[in-house]
Structure 1
Amino acid sequence: MKKLEFSVGGDAPRIDRWLADQVDSLSRSHIQKLIEQGHVQINHKICTSKKYALQIGDQIQVHIPAPRPLALEPEPMDLEMLFEDDHLLIVNKPAGLVVHPAPGHATGTLVHGLLAHCQDGQGSTLSGIGGVERPGIVHRLDKDTTGAMMVAKTDQAHQHLQAQIAAKTALREYVGIVYGHPSTEIGCMDFPIGRNPTDRIKMAVVPEEKGGKAAVTQWQILQPLGNYALVKFRLETGRTHQIRVHCAQMGWPIVGDPLYSRGRSLKVNLSGQVLHAWRLSLKHPVSGTDLEVKAPLPTDFVKLLNRLQKHSHFSPMNNLLRTGESNRQN
């Protein structure tokens, strides 16, 4: 276990923000986890609140536990890598694949496949910040949402990528097909999201005073399709089911969404909601160069889009959206 010690010498904000400014190697979210786990002391007493207001002269100790060995068994999988080097990888996640172990999904998750992919002869090369069950996982996609997802191989990369997401400098764009037709071509959905109070499987728009957390999604119509529309989304936050809940709230849910849509049949065999993480734009966590990766649309998405375009007498979208483009690092 590693121990860090600090003394507050001037005006300071709440504990989590202050520590994040003092220690470049620890993200604010990591510090908050350490506080929750009782690893932060102020004046030799365990700190129980990430919002603790520091005072001049406070003595702080931060205990950083050694990474726990991974208890999960690697499972070889046929994973499509869109980008990979010694620091991170970006995988094109298929529909139906759960990202990490959870109740009912003890095996067969993306994490199990990543552990097999990243074996170097001495064990996994994934970051340990996510814990035993979520090694390397910087952000998640829902089980039936497809597309580009970044995974950290080192703790440094993990912290850097999480910081980019928190600072909104990492661009995460999705494309989806929705029922209905938004009234304008571009807009912003700004509704707090929390657990549905009557159905614990679902999320819902919940006021912040009742536990909802801020959630912001920018959107733009790429192509109207009669009673449907092809829409691009850009996440500013990353709440569970965020795009799906926001679209349902606006009255145009994602096609094929088993939780939030109206369940219309389109004579296309869908494997899940028609929502795809299309593009990731970020700074490489080590070199600092710009990295942009696009994930090709899955077959189900393309088939449905072709059908709707044909019935609506629209020309197909350009090849850039259909098949992605070469990943580049500038």
Structure 2
Amino acid sequence: MAEHQNGPDLEDDGELFEHHRFVASKGQEPLRVDKYLMNFVEHATRNKIQQAARSGHVWVNGNPVKSNYKVKAGDEVKVLFEHPPHENLLVPENIPLDIVYEDHSLLVVNKPAGMVVHPGHGNYSGTLINGLIHHFKHLPNNSSERPGLVHRIDKDTSGLLVVAKTERAMTHLAKQFFDKSSTREYLALVWGSPKEDAGTITGHIGRNPKNRLQMQVFPEGDVGREAVTHYRVLERLGYVSLVSCTLETGRTHQIRVHMKYAGHTLFNDERYGGDKILKGTTFTKYRQFVDNAFKLLPRQALHAKTLGFVHPETQEPMQFSSELPQDMAQCLEKWRNYGAQGH
């Protein structure tokens, strides 16, 4: 059963962990970046650093570089690896959790926007897992050694997550995610108005080779992993629409990438360009209106609203639903009022 222990959400993204960041000192003579990092990174072999560089995981001044790049004074050098750094072991932290359901097998948590689910990418504290291991001492590990975690949602996405409290629950729940028998519905505010009232977006999703922090669709299916998103338009609000997205697969950034691919980038999704005015007029008043909407909702407009699964012990179907958080609800209301005023 080991292959199920991740669930598709956890296994497919090659999560990158920022181990080290250095700024080369004023007196730094030009030096190959692999040699430079060997001088600073404890226990790092040159081979390991070169391998990271080949994978696009050695960055200088925000851009991936090859091993032979010469580091100069003032350069910001980062190296990322595909496993968590040993020096950043999980530390329990007394973080308040919004628990909507709990029994001896599992709990369902409503995650606020802005909270990272597990350590990585330079976020080694303040994560949901740091809070979970403080409140629950004996959570089972999945194969990525992320206690209790069956699936996850992005840092700036709000909403529901199920957490396993026992080994049996971990195996059972992860298998449901793997077999696509769990149900997950998200609400998203997107730019534009989809032609159809409902539809399905398919297209393999993999890491963008030019920007390792983005994912992209590979329609030929030669790269990445299969991904399927079903959507329904709930409200058309002129230049934006509220849509419901149901996931059949759980790829990293799946809804964000699929909706962009379909021509409807999520509202204020900075990573995928949704923080620009993608639909609408050029009037100054409209630009000001959108800017104010961005301030109300300073993140991508995505909320994990409902979560359904079969209980690992009782075999009863369970369904949970959560309200839209205040920032997204206020932004939505602003667009409704804008439309009502005849814009």
TM-score > 0.5, shorter chain as reference: yes
Which deviations, in whole Å up to 9, do the C-alpha atoms of 1:237-277 show, x marking residues without a partner? 00000000001111111101011134233413223101000
Letter paired with 1:267: N
- Alignment equivalent of 2:215, drawn from 198, 203, 223: 203
Is the contact between residue 5 and residue 143 of structure 2 (CA under 8 Å) also seen in structure 1?
A: no
Q: Measure, in 2, the Cα distance between the counterparts of 1:105 and 1:259.
A: 17
Which deviations, in whole Å up to 9, do the C-alpha atoms of 1:95-146 show, x marking residues without a partner? 111111113011111100111121xxxxx221122443x1111001011000
CA distance 1:84–1:130, shift in 2 (3 Å): farther
Is the contact between residue 197 and residue 232 of structure 2 (CA under 8 Å) also seen in structure 1?
A: yes
The reply to whether residue 129 of structure 1 matches residue 156 of structure 2 is: no
The reply to whether residue 277 of structure 1 matches residue 307 of structure 2 is: no
Which deviations, in whole Å up to 9, do the C-alpha atoms of 1:141-191 show, x marking residues without a partner? 011000001111111101111111122221000001000000010000001
The reply to whether residue 267 of structure 1 matches residue 280 of structure 2 is: no
Aligned residues: 246
Give the RMSD, CA atoms, in angstroms: 1.9
What is the aligned partner in structure 2 of residue 148 from structure 1? 160
Q: Measure, in 1, the Cα distance between the counterparts of 2:193 and 2:143.
A: 39
CA distance 1:30–1:151, shift in 2 (3 Å): closer
Letter paired with 2:105: H
Q: Measure, in 1, the Cα distance between the counterparts of 2:89 and 2:299.
A: 30
- Deviating more after overlay: 183-192 vs 266-275: 266-275
Is the contact between residue 199 and residue 232 of structure 2 (CA under 8 Å) also seen in structure 1?
A: yes
Is the contact between residue 95 and residue 271 of structure 1 (CA under 8 Å) also seen in structure 2?
A: no
Q: Measure, in 2, the Cα distance between the counterparts of 1:273 and 1:186.
A: 21
Letter paired with 1:111: I
Q: Measure, in 1, the Cα distance between the counterparts of 2:221 and 2:255.
A: 21
Letter paired with 1:252: H
Q: Measure, in 2, the Cα distance between the counterparts of 1:30 and 1:110.
A: 19
Shift of 1:290: 1.4
TM-score (norm 1): 0.71
Letter paired with 2:271: L
What is the aligned partner in structure 2 of residue 29 from structure 1? 4
Letter paired with 1:255: F
Letter paired with 1:271: P
Paired residues for 1:158-307 under 5 Å: 158-207=170-219, 210-263=222-275, 264=277, 265-268=290-293, 269=295, 270-307=297-334
Which deviations, in whole Å up to 9, do the C-alpha atoms of 1:201-254 show, x marking residues without a partner? 100012565422100000000111111111000000000000000011111111
The reply to whether residue 76 of structure 1 matches residue 94 of structure 2 is: yes
> Unaligned stretches of 5+ in structure 2?
8-87, 278-289
The reply to whether residue 93 of structure 1 matches residue 111 of structure 2 is: yes
> Unaligned stretches of 5+ in structure 1?
1-25, 33-69, 119-123, 315-330
Letter paired with 1:289: E
Q: Measure, in 1, the Cα distance between the counterparts of 2:233 and 2:2.
A: 35
Q: Measure, in 2, the Cα distance between the counterparts of 1:226 and 1:106.
A: 41
Shift of 1:77: 1.0
Percent identical = 40
Is the contact between residue 174 and residue 233 of structure 1 (CA under 8 Å) also seen in structure 2?
A: yes
Q: Measure, in 1, the Cα distance between the counterparts of 2:144 and 2:213.
A: 24
CA distance 1:31–1:74, shift in 2 (3 Å): closer
Is the contact between residue 181 and residue 224 of structure 1 (CA under 8 Å) also seen in structure 2?
A: yes
- Deviating more after overlay: 185-194 vs 158-167: 158-167
Structure 1 moving runs of 4+ over 4 Å: none
